[in-house]
Structure formats: structure tokens, C-alpha cells
Amino acid sequence: MRKHYLDNIRWATVLLVLAYHVCYLFNGVGVFGAVPGAKNIPLFDYFACAVYPWFMVLLFVIAGISARYALRGQTGKTFLKKRAVKLLVPSTLGPFVFHWVTGYLNIKMGGGLDAIPAALLYPISVVSGFGPLWFIQMLFLFSCLLVLLRKIDKADRIWTLCGKVNLPVILLLFVPIFAGAQVLNMPVLTTYRFGIYFVSFLIGYYIFSHDEAQEITGRIHLPMLFLAALGAVVYMAIYGGTDFTSPVCLQSLMTNLYLWIVVLAILGCGKRYFDWETAFTRYMTKSSFGIYILHYPILTVVCYSLSAFFDLPAIWNYVTALVLVLVLTFTAFEILKRIPVVRFLVLGINPEKSPDRS
């Protein structure tokens, strides 16, 4: 039985990622990747600062829970086969079809077009165009490691032990989160934070896939929501206006305590208030993965075009970019999922399935 609130949190977080990336591309605090010369509103940098530490951790926790549910009815081999189609194909072959656009614009915005021979521009654009696809690349790697762990622990003793979790343990999970933030961080590709994201994935798989753990978060949702709001204010006061993606920020005790409080607040509030389904939420549940995959090249084109070819007030750059990325990304998804080969390469939709079941 599906947990509707987990599906709803997932697609809502994907929409939050879209809003964050608008702020990211127009940021004025020196975070690498911004559109050169773009008009900036500092208030939106504070918003980006407040959400950046926790939204991907939340997605990995939910991915871990979902992996546990998926493995209940299939073998590890079948699980990985499906994951290879859904995750590995679009994150490795998709850039050749769609995401090279991001790479091309990154090169253009960085002033590197003249330094690259014409024959190498496309392959370099492909390699430079992965963008947010790092998430599904890491998710596939973690899925492989999970199957290995299940083979080692054939009796499922670790998961059974984690079923005895209580409130103090759940609160103290920020300790392994903090420890994970300190290790396995790529030096240049800073989004590849293998330590914290693998810990988050395992916490979802081993702990929050238990109904009791979910019930506990539901019972503490209001205190956690209060602490999350207070933490956001304190966090922005400390790190607002700075490069919130820097190791100094992301590896701090404050950051990891704050992000864990927010994750617990969202899981708890989702359990209490978001556990329902409508036609809209069903559509979003089916579409959010494709929206995540497609949004960034579209958004990069939109933000670059607004900055390069128009002279709108700064607020209208933000508003226009957000509206256009929503409209164009959903439109692109509806079109691409109906094109047989493209939907497989870009969206990871199994060619044997109907596009409506994506």
C-alpha cells in the first residue's frame, strides 16, 4: 500500500527544487553557476540559503523508504534492472539528447566558447550538462550498494533491529547526518556529497520505512515545525548573504542540526496533514520524476534569455522564470513521454510500458 504523504512530499519538494534553481541562477552571493550580470534580489538569496541544506537530504530519505517498499515484492536483480532503466539511462544517455543544452550555456556564460574547437563543442557540452542529474546518478549507486548490503545481511537483522527505534534515537540521527557531511565530498563537483546522502538514504531504508518511526514523527510534528521555523531564522541570520554551498557552511554542526529538524518537521507534518490523494496529486506523483529531469536545461535557457535579451525589473525576472519553467517543463514532459526512443533515453520510461504509466 502506497503512503500518499510520502509521494506528496516528494513532488512538492521537486517543485521547491525548481523555485530554488530560479534563485540559484539569479543569485548574488557568489554561488558558482549564476547567470552573469543577472539582476539580483537579496531576499531570494536568503530563501535559497534556508532551503539548500535540507531538500536533497529529504529526497534521499524518502528514496530510501521507497527502496524498502519496492524490494518487498521483487528480487534485488529485478530491482536493479528497473533502476538501471529509470535512473542510469537518463543520467548517462539523456545528456546526449537533451542536457547538452545546459552544458553549452554553461560554457557560453563562462566565456569559453572561443577556446573550444567546433568539433569538440558538442561532446564537451554533453559532459558539462549533467546538472541536477547527479541526484539520480547517486541514487543508482546507492541502490547497487543497498542490494549488496541485503546480500550480506540475508536475515534482515539490521532492519529488524532498527524497528525498535524510539524518539531519542530519531532525534539523535542528526549525529550520523553530521558525521556523513564530513566525508566523501567531491572537491570540485560539490553537489556530489556521497557521505551525507548515503547516510540519509540508509536512514530512510532502515529506520523510516518502519511504521512506528513514521508514527513518532507524526506525533512530534508541531514541536519540530516550531523548531524548524526558528532554526530557519537563526540559520539565515548566520549564513544569509554568504556562499551557502561552501564546505564551511554545509559541514557545520549548525547546518546539520537545522536540516535534520526540518526533515523531521516535514515528515511529521506530511504524515498528519498530507496523507491524501486526488487526481492532481496522482498526476504529480507520476510526473515529478520527469519534471525533475527536464527542468534545468529549460530553466537555464529561460534565465539566460531574460538576462541577456530583456531588461525587466529584477522581480519580474524571478516571477517570469518560475512561471515559464513550470509551463514549459510540464509541456515538454507531456510531449517527450510520448516519443518512443526519446522517452526512454531522457526520461527512463521503459519502452515496453505505456507513456501514461510513467
CA dist., res. 45 & res. 27, Å (int): 6
* Distances, alpha carbon 283 to alpha carbons 160, 162, 278, 356, in Å: 34, 33, 9, 10
Q: What is the pLDDT of residues 129-149, one digit of tens each?
A: 999 999 999 999 999 999 999
Answer with the residue of higher pLDDT: 340 or 2. 340
How does residue 351 score in pLDDT terms, banded at 50, 70 and 90? Answer: confident
- In the block, cell 574547437 appears at 117
Decide: 83 and 143 in contact? Cβ < 8 Å. yes
Residues 6 or more apart whose CB falls under 8 angstroms from that of 235 comprise: 49, 50, 53, 254, 255, 258
Decide: 60 and 203 in contact? Cβ < 8 Å. no
How does residue 358 score in pLDDT terms, banded at 50, 70 and 90? Answer: very low
76 burial level (CB within 10 Å; 0-12, 13-18, 19+): middle
Overall number of domains in the chain: 1
Cα 62 to its chain centre, rounded Å, is: 11
Work out the average pLDDT over 19-36: 94
Task: Find the domain containing 346 and state its range.
Answer: 4-357
CA dist., res. 45 & res. 23, Å (int): 6
In a 13 Å sphere around the CA of 226, the CA atoms on its Cβ side amount to 3
With 90 as the cut, is the pLDDT of residue 189 above it? no
Look at residue 355 in the predicted model and tell me its pLDDT. 52
Q: Which amino acid is at 267?
A: L
CA dist., res. 223 & res. 5, Å (int): 19
> Does pTM surpass 0.85?
yes
How does residue 1 score in pLDDT terms, banded at 50, 70 and 90? Answer: low
Q: What is the pLDDT of residues 264-309, one digit of tens each?
A: 999 999 999 999 999 999 999 999 999 999 999 999 999 999 999 9
Which own/partner contact pairs does 112-116 have at CB distance under 8 Å and 24+ positions apart?
none
Look at residue 76 in the predicted model and tell me its pLDDT. 92
Q: Please say whether the dihedral angle defined by the alpha carbons of residues 293, 264, 170 and 261, taken in this order, is positive or negative.
A: positive
Look at residue 112 in the predicted model and tell me its pLDDT. 87
Look at residue 350 in the predicted model and tell me its pLDDT. 82
What average pLDDT is seen over the chain? 95
Work out the average pLDDT over 1-27: 95
CA dist., res. 15 & res. 17, Å (int): 5
Work out the average pLDDT over 325-353: 93
